[in-house]
Amino acid sequence: MTQGIRARQRAQTRAALVRQGRRLFATQGYAAVGLAELVEAAGVTKGALYHHFTGKPDLFRAVLAEVQQEVADRVAAAADAHHDPWSRFTAGCRAFLTASTDPQLQRIMLVDGPAVLGWNEWRALDEATSGRHLAEALTELVDSGTIGRQPVAPLARLLSGAMNEAALWLAGTTDPAALNDTWAALSRMLAALRTPSPAGSAG
């Protein structure tokens, strides 16, 4: 019983640190947030923070992982609302771009993420979440004949790179038409991947 209570307390402490870390990192930026502010906001001691994380970068890593998983979940939910593979694919791509315009996600995922963790680690986290969904969607499109048969891995990385660059640009622009313009450009690029329909067929 005591062990169960302690386990719950540890889980609650970690959750509070991640929750408050996410709030502070999103509103102030990683560099502006100090450990004293983090532990005060979470209502814990520095010792408690170091019990769960090796320091501020490690806490940020946990926050970023949560944010990227949340974006991946949004992408999956948008895709799952459609029946045919192409609609699922394009809805997921649009959901990713839309998520990148969310101010609560932008700073953590797109601005501070690569800077704090380095490109390689940031990219690995992205591949494990949204990148995995993209590869699965492309595999489905190849298997269904919607796009030509080809290796999925390089195509997934090319498209992921394009969308991540677009997301970074969206995070830094104030142009109200930016999202629609970016989606229009991406739609044209994606449409070029489709296998031409047989003459006289619908769609």
Could you report the per-residue pLDDT of 60-87, keeping only the tens digit for each?
A: 999 999 999 999 999 999 999 999 999 9
From 53, 68, 83, give the residue that closes a domain: 53
- Considering the domain architecture, whether residues 44 and 85 belong to the same structural domain is answered as no
Beta bridge partners of 147: 194
Q: What pTM, to 2 d.p., does this model score?
A: 0.87
Q: Are residues 135 and 164 in the same domain?
A: yes
The span from the CA of 86 to the CA of 68, in Å, is 23
One domain for residues 86 and 21: no
| CATH number for the domain that contains residue 83 | 1.10.357.10
**Residues 93 and 19 placed together within one structural domain of the fold:** no
- Does 29 fall in a domain? yes
Same domain assignment for residues 60 and 122: yes
Is residue 203 assigned to a domain? no
Same domain, 111 and 36: no
- At 149-190, the pLDDT tens digits run 999 999 999 999 999 999 989 988 889 999 999 999 999 999
Q: 137 and 152, same structural domain?
A: yes
Q: Give the residues across from 194 on adjacent strands.
A: 147
Name the residue among 23, 100, 113, 6 with its Cα closest to residue 61: 113
- Total domain count for the chain? 2
Nearest to 69 by CA among 8, 138, 22, 17: 22
Q: How confident is the model at residue 2 (pLDDT cuts 50, 70, 90)?
A: confident
Q: Are residues 76 and 9 in the same domain?
A: no
What CA–CA distance (Å, rounded) separates 186 from 126?
19
Same domain as 49, residue 62? no
Residue 58 has a CB neighbour count (10 Å cut-off) of 13
If asked whether residues 87 and 185 sit together in one domain, one would say yes
The identity of residue 61, as a single letter, is: R
Range of the domain at 109: 55-193
Q: Do both 70 and 12 map to the same domain?
A: no
For 86-139, write each residue's pLDDT tens digit: 999 999 999 999 998 898 898 999 999 999 999 899 989 888 888 888 999 999
Give the HSE-up count for residue 187: Cα atoms under 13 Å, Cβ half-sphere: 10
Residue 199 vs residue 132, higher pLDDT: 132
Residues 16, 107 within the same domain = no
Determine contact, residues 186/97, Cβ cutoff 8 Å. Answer: yes
Q: Pick from 94, 69, 111, 80: which is nearest to 189 by CA? A: 94
